[in-house]
């Protein structure tokens, strides 16, 4: 009985320490090693949707991949990272120009974090008069931060014209952002800036370049399956086939 009480007390303390609950606006989960996935939320067409992002803890500081979708969680995320790891966020990468990825560049620059996007993302943000990153990087760039190495790679158009992925070869972690759909996804979601025809070829490039991932992090919903890239390909192929069928029927 006392053992059960002790376990419940421990779980209660952990929950309070990290503010973790299914209703929490900021949820941080350990992925593997020095990698953590964090989740924030926003409304899309009246429905509450989760957005996945990731950070890496290094001996130089924390590297963040995408900002919280919920702007009210910019500072709480930094506070949580500081409390959990006793480190500051030193780098922030935006994986494309949409608000659930590239928001908050000015905020993080004021916090003395270096911010990064590729050129096409920077051009889109500039054209939309939105906050831009401090540094513009080539489409295929390798970074070394402390003992960690990762590759930022632009495979081509897909969910967005500027979507990039991040690959950690040693740990076999593929961070896909919105380029990759969760296995929970029933369709491709928002396609306002998408190029679904090219998306298929872009996925093939990622599959060819980054072999045998152990972890794949999609932009939204469940991130625990390593089948999400394969699932995305199926959704893309089904969509393209349906469009071909529609065009053929329309020609008759």
4 pLDDT above the threshold of 90? no
Q: Beta strands 89-93 and 114-118: pairing type? A: parallel
Q: Beta strands 135-137 and 140-145: pairing type? A: unpaired
Cα–Cα distance between 215 and 226 in angstroms, integer? 6
105 in Cβ contact with 68 (< 8 Å): no
Chain segment 204-239, per-residue pLDDT in tens: 999 999 999 999 999 999 999 999 999 999 999 999
Residue 213: which of 228, 234, 232, 200 has the closest Cα? 228
If pLDDT is split at 50, 70 and 90, which confidence band does 244 have? confident
Chain segment 48-97, per-residue pLDDT in tens: 999 999 999 999 999 999 999 999 999 999 999 999 999 999 999 999 99
Q: What is the pLDDT of residue 248?
A: 54
If pLDDT is split at 50, 70 and 90, which confidence band does 10 have? very low
Residue 91: which of 125, 70, 65 has the closest Cα? 65
Q: Which residue has the tokens 């969760």?
A: 182
| pLDDT cut 90: percent of the chain above it | 85
Chain segment 148-179, per-residue pLDDT in tens: 999 999 999 999 999 999 999 999 999 999 99
Q: Which CATH class is domain 24-251?
A: alpha beta
Q: Could you state, in order of their start, the residue ranges of all structural domains in the chain?
A: 24-251
Mean of pLDDT over the chain = 91
Chain segment 94-109, per-residue pLDDT in tens: 999 999 999 899 999 9
Q: What is the pLDDT of residue 246?
A: 59
Q: What is the pLDDT of residue 12?
A: 41
4: number of Cβ within 10 Å:
8
């Amino acid at each position: 009985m006392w053992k059960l009480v002790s376990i419940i007390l421990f779980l209660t303390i952990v929950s309070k320490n990290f503010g973790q609950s299914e209703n929490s606006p900021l949820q941080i989960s350990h992925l593997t090693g020095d990698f953590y996935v964090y989740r924030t939320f926003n409304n899309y067409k009246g429905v509450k949707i989760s957005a996945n992002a990731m950070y890496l803890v290094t001996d130089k500081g924390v590297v963040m991949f995408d900002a919280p979708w919920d702007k009210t969680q910019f500072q709480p995320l930094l506070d949580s990272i500081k409390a959990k790891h006793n480190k500051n966020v030193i780098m922030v990468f935006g994986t494309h120009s949409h608000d659930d990825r590239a928001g908050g560049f000015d905020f993080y620059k004021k916090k003395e974090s270096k911010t990064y996007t590729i050129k096409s993302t920077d051009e889109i943000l500039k054209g939309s008069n939105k906050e831009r990153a401090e540094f513009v990087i080539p489409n295929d760039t390798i970074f070394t931060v402390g003992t960690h190495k990762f590759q930022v790679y632009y495979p081509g158009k897909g969910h967005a014209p500027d979507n990039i992925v991040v690959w950690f070869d040693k740990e076999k972690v593929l961070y896909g952002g919105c380029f990759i759909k969760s296995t929970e996804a029933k369709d491709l979601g928002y396609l306002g800036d998408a190029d679904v025809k090219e998306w298929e070829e872009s996925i093939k490039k990622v599959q060819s370049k980054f072999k045998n991932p152990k972890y794949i992090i999609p932009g939204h919903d469940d991130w625990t399956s390593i089948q999400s890239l394969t699932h995305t390909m199926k959704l893309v192929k089904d969509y393209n086939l349906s469009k071909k069928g529609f065009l053929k029927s329309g020609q008759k």
